[in-house]
Amino acid sequence: MNGVSRPDPRGRARAAAPPSAGLSIAGAVDLAAVKARSEAQSRAKAAPAGDAPAGGGAFTFDVTEQTFQADVIDRSMQVPVVVDLWATWCEPCKQLSPVLERLAEAAGGAWVLAKVDIDANPRIRQAFGVQSVPTVVAVVAGQPVDGFSGALPEPDVRKWISGLLDALRDRMPGIREAEQRQGGEAEPEEEPDDPRFVAAEEAVEEGDWAAAEAAYSAILAAEPANEQAAAALGQVRFLARAEQADPGAIARADAAPDDVDAQLAAADAEVAADAVEAAFARLVATVGRSAGSDRDKAREHLVGLFELFPTDDPRVSAARRSLARALF
């Protein structure tokens, strides 16, 4: 069954794209206008990635209008500089800033955090066009490239930073150098495995389909919208059927095209043998020549097989179109 993946024991979905919280600023302002970019590039040689600016921490530092050129523009030639624009009166800032500081230290210099008090530095606020705080902007090679506004939850901030580094790693050697100093490329910290999914996966590994089905069903009973559990449950139910699949079912179904149950068993056998397109075609044909409850049974079985595969699998897409034609 090369095409059917087993459930993910961690119960995690694929990483989502980095959030931008509605703030699109790439190219909106020209920070290099503070000074000529050529001068900034020459200064960058004197401020290599990972060195702390005077009076600041290792990878987090306060920035003023007087230090903006060296601490933001120059350093952004080597690694991304994440600018945290905040104010003393801003309560959400007090939630977000510690998160950014903690992540900056954990990154070990792959990116640095520049904190700007907008009330004390109105020209910087004006340069970024800040309308509310907190506002966070990533500056790369002297230009803002991405950002968000508001106090995002820490997982969303992690995703945003991870996406930023992934997009820039090949173009900014300072990122990779910092990651190598830490013993390899930085990886986003994984969430702990969900023990409920771990128990279910252990049952899958032991071939105890009944226990695995019960475990995933229990998750769904508590969390009806848990898509990971729903997908895993469908996979487990198929694996249980596939283990009992009889290769002779295909020949029997071919000899009795109007026997819907035989067609379902044959489709399972074909998917188990990785003859996915043949299984889909068989059930589409069954839907086309049957009616009433038989037609519903074949259609529901086919849709269940679709769910064993990624939604963008071309075999699924083609079969869905064929099913639509058979139905309508």
Q: What is the pLDDT of residue 227?
A: 83
Distance CA 299, CA 52 (A): 64
pTM check: above 0.75: no
Lowest mean pLDDT among 21-25, 59-63, 196-200: 21-25
Please give the DSSP secondary-structure letter assigned to residue 228.
H
The one catalytic residue among 93, 203, 233, 323 = 93
Q: How many whole angstroms separate alpha carbon 129 and alpha carbon 112? A: 21
Q: What per-residue confidence (pLDDT) applies to 38? A: 33
> Tens digit of pLDDT for each residue in 283-326?
999 999 999 999 999 999 999 898 888 878 899 999 999 999 98
* Per-residue model confidence as pLDDT tens digits over 3-60: 455 554 444 433 333 343 334 333 333 344 433 333 444 444 444 443 333 334 589 9
Q: What is the CATH number of domain 31-181?
A: 3.40.30.10
171 labelled catalytic: no
Predicted confidence (pLDDT) per residue in 118-149, tens digit: 999 999 999 998 999 999 999 998 899 999 99
> Can you give the pLDDT at residue 328?
79
Residue of 184, 221, 218 lying closest to 200 (CA atoms): 218
Q: Where are the domains of the chain?
A: 31-181, 194-244, 245-328
Look at the block and give the residue holding tokens 């996915």.
276
Given a cut of 50, whether residue 248 has pLDDT beyond it is: yes
Please indicate whether residue 197 is annotated as part of the active site: no
Of residues 31, 34, 90, 276, which has the active-site annotation?
90
Q: Which residue has the higher pLDDT, 14 or 89?
A: 89
